[in-house]
């Protein structure tokens, strides 16, 4: 018996049985007994067949996996690595993926249907948010768990300016960005001297504070009812209306798709602006200082870099793009409420940045497409899809702890531009 | 004055629940330096296991209340510990010694998984439970205003105090506690000296989960209603408590929990219920600005 | 003999640093000469790095005054200004005992970050930089040129585009010195620059430090345990023990000071005479901590 357990099959079997026992323990109560609402309170009913299936699935699955795929200490990573291309190949393909995706995005409205374009808008919104947060988390290495607050500030700025002062989207867009970055600085100034996880919890708290205020300041923000009938953006003053709008001006038949396509290009332009500014900043002294800050804050100070200001600019810039995205969100939805700005949103944006690979612009795009696009594709799964979403986050992270694209492109080079392997890049303490 | 005392009692009760959850955060942070975002949901799972066990035990015909509660408490602690252990095993252990943000993301992922798992298997509706422990002592009475200390509150406070005392003993006196403190200092050195680091970390998660499940039982009995979403807010509050007290410090977690509970109740009692979260979070921010390591945390000496 | 007293670039007066009950540095006064290489030596735990951290602003001293006299005549009281301004305005640069390079950035990038303040100004605080104004491009080019010159001096030009963390230990030490020099300091503080270097690398380092003093006109203050190196290149040696200065003078003076020998060999003060005799046997090479 002992000999058998030492063989590969035996060890796998033992492991599988152990896993099955744990599954049985986990599911026995949570799954095996289901609460149901009855007259006069809660009742229970047995659901043992599901438990049996789960235990069996784990037993067989784990046994098969240990025999066929898993080896070594980090089984998931090893298994995935044998299936997927290596980081160097990804880096080489990466050069072509960026432009290809851009061409794809630019031409999408010509062949996509309404559903696809709507999904494109959603994915692009997350790409923009991811790029904005990438400045803070990926470049400057500051862990921000309340990024959604700036998104909310942007959305509410536009909605409120439009409601109270009747300002148009194009006037409000910069205002939303400025206000969001202003809030970023107000928050940033006192808390940026905190380190690591203290910063994380304070930013999380700030996000929650903003949401609770929006929820309860009924007279001003409409509380949980939110703000509806937010004006739609115009195309250089031309509204997308049946009469006398965009279609009439260009002499083409009216189509409700025009506005959708316009919104698609609008968010694409905003996202590309974010990307352009970020890429540009990376090559400027301030961008280099952000990355240096992520690598070693003490060394930065020893070189005369004002770390507080450097952090503040990263925070304010990231917040500004969050604000832009928020204003876009408001005008696209036409309705906003605090529901849209929960911590889960922040967590998803952060997950996109980390899964994509900290500091990598392309990584954000890939992660957004996989996470948000995938999420929408599995719409039919309903409740299960959020479960799958969470599991996917876990699996990708274990597979690639440094994200899908982990190498870093240097901001300046002498002879040859060589990507820096992710293993050397620090993640920041702030 | 009477109103004040009543709020004080309510605050301490709430604070006890937060404190129990906060210990899980602070221990895990102390030993592997990560924010276990799924811990709030472990608390939620604990509350669900307690609810189901209670219903099952009653259905089996056991009605003697102390016995029922004891069974519920023990089953919930055991089963929730398995959940805590599994979460660590699946989502955190493969990332040991890796990128710092990676376990944070898997933790958020696990939190999503747990919430939705419970939603799928137990339904999204809120689960009401009629009060099991009723009655209480009237401490004071003035102009018709009664200051009440309910038996439930006594149970919560006494259980919390006992658990925390026992727990402090465990950490300070046993070899497990010593191993844990050694791992906090230096995992590599601890393993060289024969401490089983993996097992110590697993046990930390198990203990954290067990305490969270107790908080879950108390929450269920005290408020009488749970759903799959209670873990988030309780988790955030408890984490806030842990940070306020100084993350990594056990007395800090207890103190922080108590403070957050008191702040919330007093703010609700004297100002507005709606803004109680704002009050708790604002005080956290203010404390951190002046004491960047929390109230009882060790000040971080910047090594140059 | 004490030429550093005549034209000091750095004057430390009555410096005291306490951590809780522990007195790390106690009433320490010394000068660093403008054109000298000054060494701060002492047994482990003598408080040398604490002095460095006070000079460079990472610690705020409990008591005392640290004056930096720049060559343009301006004086700075270092205990009063934040660390990054000490590097920026008072022109004091430093390296660290445990090398602190930006490991995930390339060697060239490390040297560019050291020129941050100048580049920041020339990019009009990034606003001009975004639009790529020509004066910024020129300034960026000049910075690359300066970095290249330094890379040639420390013989790392071939590795300019490699991540700093990928360099061997000795190269990292030199890179850190070059990075500090790229801030155009007038005083360079080196915390154990020769630690972990082999004898050849130490010789190269000596050459580099001399060229920094002569070519760049930068004063050097260093902490070092390698006595042969200290005695070879230092113009002035200050010896600390338990936070107190026990000797101060040129290399030859310090080498023969009975207090120093006592501190290093760990004998009581009344045995100093005996130790003096011993020290004649053990030459400078042999006296290591």
Q: Which residues of chain C have a CB within 8 Å of the CB of A300?
A: 84, 113
Q: Which chains touch C (3 or more CB pairs under 8 A)?
A: A, B
What fold does the segment set A87-399 form as a domain? ABC transporter involved in vitamin B12 uptake, BtuC (1.10.3470)
Mutate to test the interface with C, among A290, A295, A302 (most CBs of C within 10 A): A302
The model's confidence at residue A374, banded by pLDDT at 50, 70 and 90, is: confident
Q: Which residues of chain A have a CB within 8 Å of the CB of C123?
A: 284-286
Taking residues B283-296, report their average pLDDT: 82
Q: Do B289 and A190 touch (CB under 8 A)?
A: yes
Residue A43, classed as helix, strand or coil, is strand
Taking residues A72-89, report their average pLDDT: 57
Is the model more confident about A95 or about B130?
A: B130
Chain B, nearest residue to A385 by Cα: B116
Q: Which residues of chain A have a CB within 8 Å of the CB of B129?
A: 41-42
Q: Which residues of chain A have a CB within 8 Å of the CB of B49?
A: 29-30
Does the pLDDT value for residue C282 go beyond 80?
no
Q: What is the pLDDT of residues A168-202, one digit of tens each?
A: 888 888 999 999 999 988 888 877 777 777 788 88
Does the pLDDT value for residue C277 go beyond 70?
no
Taking residues B120-134, report their average pLDDT: 85
The model's confidence at residue B285, banded by pLDDT at 50, 70 and 90, is: confident
CA atoms within 13 A on the CB side of C154: 29
Q: To the nearest whole number, what is the mean pLDDT of chain B?
A: 88
Does the pLDDT value for residue B264 go beyond 50?
yes
Q: Checking DSSP bridges between strand B127-128 and strand B225-226, what pairing results, if any? A: antiparallel
Residue A44, classed as helix, strand or coil, is strand
Q: What is the pLDDT of residues B2-25, one digit of tens each?
A: 788 888 999 999 999 999 999 999
Residue A53, C-beta contacts closer than 8 angstroms, at least 6 positions apart: none
The C-alpha of A420 sits at a distance from chain C's nearest C-alpha, in angstroms, of 6
Q: Give the per-residue pLDDT at A318.
A: 93
Mutate to test the interface with B, among A45, A355, A397, A424 (most CBs of B within 10 A): A397
Q: What is the pLDDT of residues A20-29, one digit of tens each?
A: 999 988 888 8
The C-alpha of B271 sits at a distance from chain A's nearest C-alpha, in angstroms, of 14
Distance separating alpha carbons of residues B12 and B14, to the nearest angstrom: 6
Q: Looking at the partner chain, which of C85, C109, C126 has a beta carbon nearest the beta carbon of A412?
A: C109
The model's confidence at residue B115, banded by pLDDT at 50, 70 and 90, is: very high
Secondary structure (DSSP) of B225-266: EE-TTHHHHHHHHHHHHHHHH-TT-HHHHHHHHHHHHHHHHH
What are the residue boundaries of the structural domains of chain B, listed by start?
A: 2-290
Taking residues C79-100, report their average pLDDT: 85
Written as six digits, the tokens of C163 are: 């991540």
The model's confidence at residue B114, banded by pLDDT at 50, 70 and 90, is: very high
Q: What is the pLDDT of residues C216-250, one digit of tens each?
A: 888 888 888 888 888 888 888 888 888 788 888 88
High-pLDDT (> 90) share of chain A, %: 13
Distance separating alpha carbons of residues C186 and C193, to the nearest angstrom: 18
C-beta neighbour count of A106 within 10 angstroms = 12
- Whose CA is closest to C61, among C85, C90, C89, C83? C83
Does the pLDDT value for residue B60 go beyond 90?
no
The model's confidence at residue A218, banded by pLDDT at 50, 70 and 90, is: confident
- Burial class of A408 by CB neighbour count within 10 A (0 to 12, 13 to 18, 19+): buried
**Angle, in degrees to the nearest 10, between helices B230-245 and B101-122:** 150
Q: Do C163 and A421 touch (CB under 8 A)?
A: yes
Written as six digits, the tokens of B151 are: 């038996």
Does the pLDDT value for residue B192 go beyond 50?
yes
Does the pLDDT value for residue B34 go beyond 90?
no
DSSP structure class, residue B193: T
Q: Give the per-residue pLDDT at B46.
A: 95
Taking residues A324-342, report their average pLDDT: 89
Q: What is the dihedral of CA C33, C35, C41, C45, to 10 degrees?
A: 70
CATH for the stretch B2-290: 1.10.3470
Does the pLDDT value for residue B70 go beyond 60?
yes
- Burial class of B1 by CB neighbour count within 10 A (0 to 12, 13 to 18, 19+): exposed
Q: What is the pLDDT of residues C148-172, one digit of tens each?
A: 888 888 888 888 888 888 888 888 9
Alpha helices in B88-196 (DSSP H): 101-122, 151-173, 175-185, 187-192
Residue B262, C-beta contacts closer than 8 angstroms, at least 6 positions apart: B8, B11, B12, B15
Q: Do B53 and A29 touch (CB under 8 A)?
A: yes
- Whose CA is closest to A278, among A362, A356, A341, A349? A362
Taking residues B73-102, report their average pLDDT: 90
Mutate to test the interface with A, among C102, C114, C142, C182 (most CBs of A within 10 A): C102
Distance separating alpha carbons of residues A320 and A318, to the nearest angstrom: 5
Q: What is the 3-state secondary structure (H, E, C) of chain C?
A: CCHHHCCEEEEEEEEEEEECCEEEEEEEEEEEECCCEEEEECCCCCCHHHHHHHHCCCCCCCEEEEEEECCCCCEEEHHHCCHHHHHHCCCEEECCCCCCCCCCCEHHHHHHHCCHHHHHHHCCCCHHHHCCCHHHHHHHHHHHHHHHHHHHHCCCHHHCCCEHHHCCHHHHHHHHHHHHHCCCCCEEEEECCCCCCCHHHHHHHHHHHHHHHHCCCCEEEEECCCHHHHHHHCCEEEEEECCEEEEEECHHHHHCCHHHHHHHHCCCHHHHHHHHHHHHHCCHHHCCC
Does the pLDDT value for residue B96 go beyond 70?
yes
Q: Which residues of chain C have a CB within 8 Å of the CB of A415?
A: 160-161
CB pairs under 8 A between A and C: 144
Distance separating alpha carbons of residues C220 and A329, to the nearest angstrom: 58
Does the pLDDT value for residue A152 go beyond 50?
yes
**Angle, in degrees to the nearest 10, between helices B250-270 and B2-32:** 150
Contact status of A277 with chain B (Cβ, < 8 Å): no
List every span in chain A annotated with CATH 1.10.3470.
Answer: 87-399
The model's confidence at residue A81, banded by pLDDT at 50, 70 and 90, is: low
The C-alpha of A279 sits at a distance from chain B's nearest C-alpha, in angstroms, of 23
Residue identified by tokens 């940026």 is A192
The C-alpha of B97 sits at a distance from chain A's nearest C-alpha, in angstroms, of 10
Q: Are C222 and C39 in contact (CB under 8 A)?
A: yes
Q: Give the per-residue pLDDT at C288.
A: 42
Q: Which residues of chain C have a CB within 8 Å of the CB of A301?
A: 58, 83-84, 87
Strand partners, C70: none
Chain A, nearest residue to C84 by Cα: A304
Contact status of A381 with chain B (Cβ, < 8 Å): no
Q: What is the pLDDT of residues C14-63, one digit of tens each?
A: 888 888 778 788 888 888 888 888 888 887 777 888 888 888 888 888 88
- What is the ipTM score, two decimals? 0.86
| CA distances, A356 to each of A135, A317, B36 (Å) | 13, 20, 21
The model's confidence at residue C285, banded by pLDDT at 50, 70 and 90, is: very low
Is the model more confident about A230 or about A77?
A: A230
- Whose CA is closest to B88, among B107, B116, B108, B114? B107
Taking residues A25-46, report their average pLDDT: 82
Q: Do C123 and A285 touch (CB under 8 A)?
A: yes
Does the pLDDT value for residue A74 go beyond 80?
no
Written as six digits, the tokens of A89 are: 């190949």
The C-alpha of B294 sits at a distance from chain C's nearest C-alpha, in angstroms, of 19
Q: Give the per-residue pLDDT at B16.
A: 93
Q: Are A324 and A274 in contact (CB under 8 A)?
A: yes
Q: Do C113 and A292 touch (CB under 8 A)?
A: yes
Q: Do C105 and A410 touch (CB under 8 A)?
A: yes
The angle at the Cα of B96, spanning B94 to B101, to the nearest 5 degrees, equals 100
Q: Which residues of B237-274 are buried (b: 16+ CB within 10 A; e: fewer)?
A: bbbbbbbbbbbbbbebbbbbbbbbbbbbbbbbbeeeeb
The model's confidence at residue A110, banded by pLDDT at 50, 70 and 90, is: confident
Q: Give the per-residue pLDDT at B206.
A: 94
Q: Do B95 and A397 touch (CB under 8 A)?
A: yes
Q: Are A254 and A273 in contact (CB under 8 A)?
A: no
Q: Looking at the partner chain, which of C119, C126, C160 has a beta carbon nearest the beta carbon of A415?
A: C160
- Whose CA is closest to B260, among B229, B286, B284? B284
Ordered by where they begin, the domains of chain C are 3-91+184-286 (3.40.50.300), 102-182 (no CATH)
Q: What is the pLDDT of residues A258-313, one digit of tens each?
A: 788 888 888 999 999 999 999 888 888 888 999 998 888 889 988 888 888 888 99
Q: Give the per-residue pLDDT at C287.
A: 42
Chain B, nearest residue to C54 by Cα: B304
Range of lowest pLDDT (A22-26, B193-197, C4-8, C129-133): C129-133
The C-alpha of C103 sits at a distance from chain A's nearest C-alpha, in angstroms, of 6
Q: Give the per-residue pLDDT at B275.
A: 85
Q: Which chain A residues in 87-146 lie under 8 Å from chain B, judged by CB atoms?
A: 137, 143
Contact status of A78 with chain B (Cβ, < 8 Å): no
């Amino acid at each position: 018996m002992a000999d058998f357990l030492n063989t590969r099959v035996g060890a796998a079997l033992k492991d599988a049985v152990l896993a099955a026992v744990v599954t049985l323990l986990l599911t026995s109560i949570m799954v095996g007994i289901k609460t149901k609402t009855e007259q006069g309170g809660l009742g229970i009913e047995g659901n043992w067949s599901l438990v049996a299936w789960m235990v069996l699935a784990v037993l067989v699955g784990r046994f098969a996996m240990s025999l066929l795929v898993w080896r070594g200490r980090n089984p998931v990573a090893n298994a995935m690595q044998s299936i997927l291309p290596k980081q160097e190949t990804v880096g080489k393909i990466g050069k072509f993926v960026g432009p290809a995706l851009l061409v794809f995005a630019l031409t999408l409205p010509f062949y996509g249907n309404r559903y696809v374009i709507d999904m494109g808008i959603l994915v692009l919104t997350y790409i923009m948010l991811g790029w904005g947060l990438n400045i803070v988390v990926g470049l400057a290495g500051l862990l921000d768990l309340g990024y959604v607050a700036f998104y909310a500030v942007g959305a509410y700025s536009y909605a409120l300016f439009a409601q109270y002062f009747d300002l148009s989207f194009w006037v409000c867009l910069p205002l939303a960005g400025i206000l969001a970055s202003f809030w970023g600085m107000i928050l940033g100034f006192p808390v940026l001297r905190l380190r690591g996880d203290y910063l994380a919890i304070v930013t999380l708290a700030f996000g929650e504070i903003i949401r609770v205020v929006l929820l309860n300041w009924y007279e001003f923000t409409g509380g949980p009812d939110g703000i509806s009938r937010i004006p739609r953006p115009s195309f250089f003053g031309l509204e997308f209306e049946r009469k006398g709008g965009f279609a009439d001006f260009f002499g083409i038949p009216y189509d409700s798709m025009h506005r959708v396509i316009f919104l698609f290009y609008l968010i694409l332009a905003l996202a590309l602006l974010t990307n352009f500014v970020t890429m540009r900043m990376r090559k400027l002294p301030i961008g280099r200082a952000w990355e240096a800050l992520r690598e070693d804050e003490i060394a930065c100070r020893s070189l005369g870099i004002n770390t507080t200001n450097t952090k503040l600019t990263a925070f304010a810039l990231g917040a500004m793009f969050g604000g832009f995205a928020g204003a876009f969100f408001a005008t696209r939805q036409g309705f906003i409420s605090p529901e849209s700005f929960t911590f889960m949103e922040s967590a998803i944006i952060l997950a996109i940045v980390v899964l994509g690979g900290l500091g990598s612009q392309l990584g954000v795009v890939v992660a957004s497409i996989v996470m948000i696009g995938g999420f929408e594709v599995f719409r039919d799964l309903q409740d299960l899809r959020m479960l799958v979403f969470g599991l996917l986050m876990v699996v990708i992270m274990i597979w690639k702890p440094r994200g899908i694209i982990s190498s870093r492109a240097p901001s300046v080079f002498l002879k040859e531009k060589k990507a820096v392997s992710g293993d050397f890049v620090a993640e920041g303490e702030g | 004055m009477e109103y004040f005392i009543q709020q004080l009692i309510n605050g301490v009760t709430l604070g006890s629940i937060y404190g129990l959850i906060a210990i899980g955060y602070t221990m895990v942070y102390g030993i592997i330096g990560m924010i276990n975002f799924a811990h709030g949901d472990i608390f939620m799972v604990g509350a669900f296991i307690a609810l189901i066990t209670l219903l099952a035990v009653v259905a089996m015909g056991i009605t003697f209340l102390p016995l029922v509660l004891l069974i519920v408490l023990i089953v919930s602690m055991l089963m929730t510990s398995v959940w805590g252990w599994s979460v660590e095993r699946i989502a955190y252990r493969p990332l040991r010694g890796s990128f710092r943000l990676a376990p944070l993301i898997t933790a958020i992922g696990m939190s999503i998984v747990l919430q939705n798992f419970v939603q799928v298997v137990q339904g999204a509706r809120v689960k009401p439970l009629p009060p099991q422990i009723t009655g209480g002592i009237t401490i004071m009475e003035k102009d018709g205003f009664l200051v009440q200390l309910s038996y439930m509150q006594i149970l919560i406070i006494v259980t919390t105090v006992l658990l925390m005392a026992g727990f402090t003993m465990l950490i300070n006196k046993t070899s497990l506690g010593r191993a844990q403190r050694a791992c906090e200092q230096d995992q590599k050195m601890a393993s060289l000296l024969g401490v089983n680091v993996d097992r110590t970390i697993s046990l930390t998660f198990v203990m954290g989960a067990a305490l969270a499940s107790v908080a879950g039982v108390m929450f269920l009995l005290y408020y009488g209603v749970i759903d799959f979403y209670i873990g988030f807010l309780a988790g955030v509050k408890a984490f806030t408590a842990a940070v306020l007290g100084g993350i990594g410090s056990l007395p800090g977690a207890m103190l922080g929990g108590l403070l957050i509970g008191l702040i919330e109740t007093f703010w609700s009692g004297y100002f507005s219920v709606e803004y109680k979260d704002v009050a708790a979070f604002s005080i956290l921010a203010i404390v951190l600005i002046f004491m960047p390591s929390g109230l009882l945390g060790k000040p971080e000496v910047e090594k140059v | 003999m004490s030429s550093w007293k005549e034209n000091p670039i750095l004057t430390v007066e009555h410096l005291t640093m306490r951590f809780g009950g522990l007195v790390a540095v106690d009433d320490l006064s010394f000068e660093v000469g403008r054109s000298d290489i000054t060494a701060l030596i002492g047994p482990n735990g003598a408080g040398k790095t604490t002095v460095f951290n006070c000079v460079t602003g990472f610690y705020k001293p409990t008591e005392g005054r640290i004056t930096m006299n720049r060559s343009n005549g301006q004086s700075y009281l270092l205990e009063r200004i934040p660390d990054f301004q000490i590097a920026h305005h008072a022109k004091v640069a430093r390296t660290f005992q445990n090398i602190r390079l930006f490991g995930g950035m390339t060697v060239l990038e490390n040297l560019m970050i050291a020129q941050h303040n100048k580049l920041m100004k020339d990019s009009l605080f990034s606003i001009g930089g975004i639009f790529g104004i020509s004066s910024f491009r020129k300034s960026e080019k000049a910075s690359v040129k300066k970095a290249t010159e330094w890379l040639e001096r420390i013989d790392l030009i071939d590795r300019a585009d490699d991540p700093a963390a990928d360099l061997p230990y000795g190269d990292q030490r030199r890179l850190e010195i070059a990075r500090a020099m790229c801030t155009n300091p007038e005083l360079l503080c080196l915390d154990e620059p020769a630690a972990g270097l082999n004898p050849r690398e130490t010789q190269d380092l000596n050459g580099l430090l001399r060229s920094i003093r002569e070519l760049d006109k930068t004063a050097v203050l260093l902490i070092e345990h390698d006595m042969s190196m200290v005695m070879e290149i230092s113009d002035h040696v200050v010896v600390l023990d338990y936070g107190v200065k026990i000797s101060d003078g040129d290399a030859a003076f310090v080498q023969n000071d009975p207090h120093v020998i006592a501190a290093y060999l760990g004998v009581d003060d009344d045995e100093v005479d005996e130790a003096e005799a011993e020290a004649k046997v053990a030459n400078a090479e042999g006296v290591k901590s």
